Each structure stands twice: as structure tokens, then as C-alpha cells.
Amino acid sequence: MTSSPFRSVVVLLARVGLGVIFFAHGWQKFFTWGIDGTQASFDKMGAPLPDVSAVLAATVELVGGAALIVGLAVPVFAVLLFLDMLGAYFIVHAGHGIFIGGGGYELVLGLGTGALLLAVTGAGRFSVDQLLGSRAIWNRRPVAA
């Protein structure tokens, strides 16, 4: 079932679904709250270097979300998005239980583990990565000695 059309469609749907959520969160940080508002929020939450970490998180989420949607460099962006969610977990959500209503970590857990899964499965058949094939450095397999 690893090469079936069903698997290809499921990977596409998961990739686009996660990508839309990440993109929306990056967009929110840049254009709804504004980067100044995001930096102030990061400072209030105790994020290290809030002026830098807010821009970094917003950029990873916006660009990484777009990359997931189109299926470009998915293993690379998926790892960056996983690390983004890992940071969100430890900096903001860990001490608040699982449920998001109390500030918990259910969203970052779902997004982070979904990104991690895409990091190992790749973008799938319906993606820019597939069109680029082995020419893309992130798609290359090590040569056996």
C-alpha cells in the first residue's frame, strides 16, 4: 500500500491540512498581530530573545506552511516546523495540561507530530518534490560504499 493512489491522496491531504494551519499561524504573527505585537507576546510568555524568536517562528510557520502546501522541501521544512512546535511546547504549553482551552499543548502536539511524520514520509506523489525527483538535495539517498 506504500505506492497506492490512496496513500498518495492521504499524504497530500495531510500535508495540505497541516500546511494551511502552519501558514495561517505564520500569517497571523506577521499580518494580524503584526511582528511587534508577536514580539511583545513572546516577551510576555518568557520566550528567549523574543525579538528574534518571534520573527523566526513566524517565518518558519509562514514559509514552512506554504512549502508543505505545495510539497517543496518537505523533509527540511517539516523538521523546522517540528522544532518550532517543540519550542512552543517547552516555552509556553508544557505546564498547562493537554487541553488547549487551558493553554495546553494539544495543538502543538498534533502539529508537531504531524510535521515529524511528514519529515520521514516525504511530500508524496502529488508535490513539487516529486516533480524535482532526485535532483533536489533533500530527496537524494546516500550512496552505499
Per-residue confidence (pLDDT) for residue 144, from 0 to 100: 57
- DSSP assignment of 61-120: HHHHHHHHHHTSSHHHHHHHHHHHHHHHIIIIIGGG-S-GGGT-SHHHHHHHHHHHHHHH
> What does the pLDDT profile of the chain (145 residues) look like in tens digits?
456 899 999 999 999 999 999 999 999 999 999 999 999 999 999 999 999 999 999 999 999 999 999 999 999 999 999 999 999 999 999 999 999 999 999 999 999 999 999 999 999 999 999 998 867 677 766 555 5
The grid coordinates of residue 20 equal 494551511
DSSP state of 127: S
Tell me which amino acid residue 82 is.
F
pLDDT value of residue 133? 84
In angstroms, rounded to a whole number, what is the distance separating the alpha carbons of residues 75 and 18?
Answer: 14
Tell me: the pLDDT tens digits for 7-47? 999 999 999 999 999 999 999 999 999 999 999 999 999 99
CA distances from 29 to 35, 41, 43, 106 (A): 6, 10, 14, 20
- For residue 137, what pLDDT is reported? 73
